[in-house]
Amino acid sequence: MQTTPSRGRKSLKIKVAIASGFAVALGLSGALLAGVTPALAADLAAQPDAQVAVFMVPLTILVLTMMFEVSRYVWRNRIPASVPPRRRVTNWSAPKQR
């Protein structure tokens, strides 16, 4: 008899999607309440420190995310075992004549 896959993963994906959407809405409303407008953001981005932060923060998050995914992959023992290459059979002697 075939077993059905667990449905726990789908509900987790939905919860993560809802939580991330809520976080975006919360961040947007917080920025609007703080008075951050595109003109003010452009003035802030003219400063070198802000330009470095705008570039480095997403890059750092990307690197940390990749490190997390690699460690998660390794933690589950899914790294394939290395297989030695096949030995190539070569016959360097001249063919035998009958």
The string of pLDDT tens digits covering residues 12-71 is 778 888 898 999 899 888 888 877 776 777 776 777 887 788 788 888 999 999 999 888
Model-level pTM? 0.41
The ranges assigned to domains in the chain are 21-75
Of 26, 56, 31, give the one whose Cα is nearest residue 41: 31
Q: Can you read off the two tokens belonging to residue 41? A: 């953001």
Q: Give the integer Cα–Cα distance in Å for 22 and 49.
A: 29
Which amino acid, 47? Q
Q: What's the confidence (pLDDT) of residue 68?
A: 92
pLDDT-derived band at 2, boundaries 50, 70, 90: low
Q: Does residue 45 contact residue 54 with C-beta atoms inside 8 Å? A: yes
**DSSP characters over 32-43:** HHHT--HHHHHH
- Between 80 and 84, name the one with better pLDDT: 84
Task: Spell out the alpha helix ranges (H) of 1-98.
Answer: 8-34, 38-45, 48-75
Is the pLDDT reported for residue 9 higher than 60? no
